[in-house]
Amino acid sequence: MTELFEGLADKDWQKLCYHPGKVIPVATYVDLRLAELAIHEWDIRSKLDASAELSVLCLPAVMDFFPCVRGRDYVPTRY
């Protein structure tokens, strides 16, 4: 997968691809998937080990992903 990603040109990262919510650039799709995997991996580990932490290496993808999720779920009167 690393070879595949490294072989992509800048224009390839901006190509549109399918996502159930809407059509998005490849770069956004990859960030969403990486963030989702990182969060789920941490979530599972945290149940087995209270000291489990989210890796700082995944934070750029997670920070890009978070507004998408929170924006969708946020209802001001609920909080």
The mean pLDDT of the chain is 83
CA distance 39 to 17: 23
Tokens representing 35 are: 């963030």
Any bridge partners for residue 24, and if so which? 17
pLDDT digits (tens, 9 = 90+) for 30-76: 888 888 888 899 999 999 999 999 888 888 877 877 666 655 555 55
pTM, two decimals, is 0.68
